[in-house]
Amino acid sequence: MRVALNATEIGRQRGGNESFLLGLLDGWRSLSVVEPLSLIACAEGLQPLATFFALNRFHVVNTGPYRRWPSYLWQQTYALRQIRPDWYLSTFLLPPWVPCRAAAIVHDVSFRAHPEYFPPTIAAYMRVLVGWAVRRAEVVLTISDFTRREIQRYYPFAAHKTVVVSCGVNSEFTAEGEAETDRAVLRTYGIESPYLLAVGNIHPRKNLARLLEAYLALSAAVPDAPNLVWAGVERWGSTELQQRAQAAGVHLPGRIAAEHLPALYRQAVVLVYPSLYEGFGLPPVEAMACGTPVIVSKTTSLSEVVGEAALLIDPLEVNDLAVALRQVVTDAALRAQLRQRGLSRARLYRWTAVAERVWQALSP
């Protein structure tokens, strides 16, 4: 079975989408049954791919600089006509014409459930193009039972062909690390310990405005409270929120290089992830694998993913989040308990298992 993977998300700082593709490739690399595999990549992704993988194991098609749709979609069709695979696997979108069997990876349907989180044009084209892709695909892959239910809710015709494959955690996310090496990473970004950590794009659904209010409440109640670090890039009109955060003393280092994330997790007092909507939520699992306590929303996919290994909060209640922050900051025994639960939970998420599930979903 010859599979072509749309890898154009790689190298474009695409957050969870990019992490999933890199993890899937890492899992596939260890499974001899999945060769040959073709990667359709844009020019921006060639160096990241070469950093992570020996590319001679894959057939890589370089489509040149990334182009926005619709030229991006036709670009995929042109590449597929050259490769002539049995299956084409792509994230969210499929080209107008696919000369083989097609599968779509749908991480979440936030653009349907909460279009207010997006610029109107993006919400509109995602609604149209993802709807077309889900209808056209023979298999729809998703990453949690929550998202499977959401796909069934918005695309009931796809319920019978939707398969949950979950997510994994890369081996570098571990509690074992050299403290001095970790501190050197922190110095690179101007981060001082101790600190509370939030990871993810600065985006309305990440709920950072309420996190800021909760942090201010914590600082008023606990004078020596740790600093707060937001690690991520601004998306879609968050400038005013960033300005308020900086005025409150929040450290905003911007994008963190993938190889530096484990150190950032390991040295944090706690990862705070109060997101309003997630298809999976990879940062909490990565943090747990690094032995870091986690506070997370009890909504959407997040409680499913972390189980009983994290403190669950109502993301709409600032006081609920502030109380959880104070508990973790002031209670060493609780931090130790969350650490052990998190390490155990994180072992459930392996990219090899994800790769096997994806391959099985595409197998005849």
Say yes or no: 332 and 356 in one domain: no
Q: Residue 230 pLDDT > 90, yes or no?
A: yes
pLDDT for residue 12: 75
Task: Judge if 238 and 193 occupy the same domain.
Answer: yes
Residue 352 has pLDDT above 90, yes or no: yes
Q: Rounded to an integer, what distance in angstroms lies between the CA atom of residue 143 and that of residue 57?
A: 26
Does residue 34 surpass a pLDDT of 60? Answer: no
How many residues in the chain?
A: 364
**What is the number of domains present in the chain?**
2
> Which of the pair, 237 or 148, is modelled with greater confidence?
148
Output the domain CATH number for residue 356. 3.40.50.2000
- Same domain, residue pair 151 and 253: no
Kindly indicate the confidence band of residue 106, based on its pLDDT and cuts at 50, 70 and 90: very high
pLDDT confidence band for 1 (50 / 70 / 90): confident
> 239 and 153 share a domain?
no
Task: State the chain's mean pLDDT as an integer.
Answer: 91
The pLDDT value given to residue 10: 87
Q: List the domain range (segments joined by +) for residue 34.
A: 3-168+350-362
pLDDT, tens digit, 9 for 90 and up, residues 245-280: 999 999 999 989 889 999 999 999 999 999 999 999
Note the pLDDT of residue 62: 85
Confidence of residue 234 (pLDDT cuts 50, 70, 90): confident
Task: Examine the domain organization and report whether 93 and 125 are in the same domain.
Answer: yes
The pLDDT assigned to 33 comes to 60
Nearest of 214, 172, 170 to residue 196 by alpha carbon? 214
pLDDT tens-digit map of 175-206: 998 999 999 999 999 999 999 999 988 888 89
Same domain? 219 vs 295: yes
Q: Has this prediction a pTM greater than 0.85?
A: yes
- Tell whether 174 is covered by a domain: no
| Tokens, residue 75 | 């670009």
Within this chain, do residues 137 and 286 fall inside the same structural domain, yes or no? no
Please indicate, yes or no, whether residues 7 and 139 belong to a single structural domain of this protein.
Answer: yes
Same domain, 196 and 282: yes
d(C-alpha 170, C-alpha 229), whole Å: 23
Instruction: State the pLDDT confidence band at 235, using cuts at 50, 70 and 90.
Output: confident
Are 257 and 354 found together in one domain? no
Instruction: Name, in order, each residue with C-beta under 8 angstroms of 276's C-beta and a sequence gap of 6 or more.
Output: 114, 204, 205, 206, 207, 297, 299, 300, 315, 316
Helix (H) or strand (E) holding 294: strand 294-297
Q: Are residues 40 and 188 in the same domain?
A: no
Which pLDDT value is given to residue 49? 80
8 and 104 both lie in a single domain:
yes
Short-list 282, 279, 285, 362, CA closest to 31 = 362
Q: Is 173 within a domain?
A: no
Q: What is the mean pLDDT of residues 119-138?
A: 94
DSSP of 203-257: -GGG-HHHHHHHHHHHHHH-TTPPEEEEES-B-SS-HHHHHHHHHTT-B---PPP
- For the segment 42-62, the average pLDDT, to the nearest whole number, is 76
Exposure string for 62-74, b = 16+ CB within 10 A, e = fewer: ebeebeeeeebbe
H or E segment at 20?
A: helix 16-29
Alpha helix ranges (H) inside 32-174: 46-52, 71-83, 110-113, 120-136, 145-154
Q: Report the C-alpha gap between 202 and 40 in whole angstroms.
A: 29
Nearest Cα to Cα of residue 24 among 169, 214, 147: 169
pLDDT band (50, 70, 90) for residue 70: low
Query: Alpha-carbon distance 130 to 112, whole Å?
Result: 10
Reply yes or no on whether the pLDDT at 124 is more than 70: yes
Provide the pLDDT confidence category of residue 61 given band limits of 50, 70 and 90.
confident
Identity of residue 130: V
- Judge contact between 306 and 284, C-beta under 8 A: yes
